[in-house]
Amino acid sequence: MSRKVIVTVAPTGGFATRAQNPHLPTQPDEIAEDVARCHAAGASVAALHARLPNDEPTCDAAIYGRINALIRERCDIVINNSGGGGVTGAMGRRLSDDLWEVDLDERMKAADAGAEIVTLNAMTVLATLAGRETLLTASPRRARIFAQRLRDRAIKPEWEAFSPAHLMQDMRTLTAEGLDPAPHIVNLCLGFDHVFQGAMPYSPKILQMMVELLPAGSVFSVAAAGAAQLPATTHALLLGGHVRVGLEDNLDYLPGEPTTNPRLVERMVRIIHELGMEPATPSEAREILGLVPSNAQARAEQAA
């Protein structure tokens, strides 16, 4: 029996702009249409970021809720809202003349929009973007508050890890406290060292090490920035993992050739098939990730 692979599409992100790639979807209708096309191409999870009408990043629950509802009208893909947001607009607050911070209260609004998964960045990193240095602060206390908020809403966290420390410290502590029963959903993010202080580049040795350090009971996927996306995700398949592609991480099909989200999904699905594996359906992805069936899925099963 072929191994089932979860293909996650990250269509928007909190940093990329239309000036960098005109195909970037930023508004609810655009995101929903793009996600539906990616679902038809083989994606089973959508890792979503929300944007304001002016395209600035936000975690506003009403905007996330609109995106989620529009997607649900079109398909039953697993919905994962980001709890990271971005570093500009309402997400950032000034700490000093030369330092900003992403507001935790703004980030936690992502938990109030009906998503099945919410990304929990249980680590403190500093992002340098457009000449601004911004802290994404996740002290142990703050990470615990966020994890408790997700548990209270029966939402699974997605643990992002940019370096081994992100697997070895807060994630292990909070899962040991019972705030996220296994399976633990982990996204290994590589190649983002040009933005995040302390992040790791992709190399076969680094990814192998990160996989070996995963806490017991983890289900992992790999996301990688730019040109590293293709080799890193292919390597993830060989290591028994799952994959994330999309314009959040990589704007080009080939260097200098702007692409679309469906095209990146289609390429990943071809590779999965060539390796003798199969893309998971949303229902299969929920089973792998330990999620309860979605309302749409439950209705379909009842009708059958």
HSE, CB side, 13 Å, CA atoms: give it for residue 101.
Answer: 10
Report CA torsion sign: 30, 236, 269, 181. Answer: negative
Per residue in 223-240, pLDDT (tens digit) is 999 999 999 999 999 999
How far are the Cα atoms of 26, 105, 122, 219, 275 from residue 143, in angstroms, in the given order?
28, 12, 5, 20, 38
Pairing of strands 78-81, 92-96: unpaired
Mean pLDDT confidence for 181-192: 97
Domains of the chain: 4-303 (3.20.20.70)
pLDDT, tens only, 81-112 = 999 888 777 787 889 888 998 888 888 999 99
pLDDT of residue 302: 42
The percentage of the chain sitting over the pLDDT mark of 90, rounded to a whole number, equals: 82
Kindly report, residue by residue over 36-91, the tens digit of the pLDDT. 999 999 999 999 999 999 999 999 999 999 999 999 999 999 999 999 888 777 78
Q: Which residue has the higher pLDDT, 145 or 294?
A: 145
Q: What is the pLDDT of residue 93?
A: 83
Q: How confident is the model at residue 304 (pLDDT cuts 50, 70, 90)?
A: very low
Query: Helix, strand or coil for residue 128?
Result: strand
Task: Assess whether pLDDT exceeds 70 at residue 200.
Answer: yes
The answer to whether residue 199 scores a pLDDT higher than 80 is yes
Mean local confidence (pLDDT), 238-251: 98
Q: What is the mean pLDDT of residues 6-30?
A: 97
Kindly report the backbone phi and psi dihedral angles of residue 89, in degrees, each rounded to the nearest multiple of 5, phi listed first: 65, -145
Q: Residue 188: pLDDT above 90?
A: yes
Please determine, for residue 250, whether its predicted confidence score (pLDDT) is greater than 60: yes
Write down the pLDDT at residue 233: 98
* pLDDT-based confidence at residue 294 (cuts at 50, 70, 90): low
Q: Is the pLDDT of residue 10 over 80?
A: yes
- Is the confidence at residue 303, as pLDDT, over 60? no
In the chain, which residue ranges form alpha helices assigned H by DSSP?
A: 28-41, 61-74, 104-108, 140-152, 165-168, 170-176, 204-212, 229-238, 261-274, 282-289, 295-303
Task: Give the residue with greater pLDDT, 258 vs 106.
Answer: 258
- Model pLDDT, residue 122: 84
Residues linked to residue 254 through DSSP beta bridges, in sequence order = 257
Q: Which residues pair with 245 in a beta bridge?
A: 9
Alpha-carbon distance 77 to 46, whole Å?
Answer: 7
Q: Using an 8 Å Cβ cutoff, are 124 and 138 in contact?
A: yes
Does position 300 have pLDDT exceeding 60, yes or no? Answer: no
For the cut 50, the answer to whether the pLDDT of residue 191 exceeds it is yes
Look up residue 29 and give its amino acid: D
pLDDT number for residue 296:
47
Pairing outcome for strands 184-190 and 156-161: parallel
What per-residue confidence (pLDDT) applies to 299?
Answer: 40
Q: What is the DSSP string of 59-118?
A: --HHHHHHHHHHHHHH--PEEEE-S---SSGGGEEEEETTEEEE-HHHHHGGGGS--SEE
- Centre a 10 Å sphere on the Cβ of residue 11 and count the other Cβ atoms it contains: 31
Say whether 21 sits in a helix, a strand or coil: coil
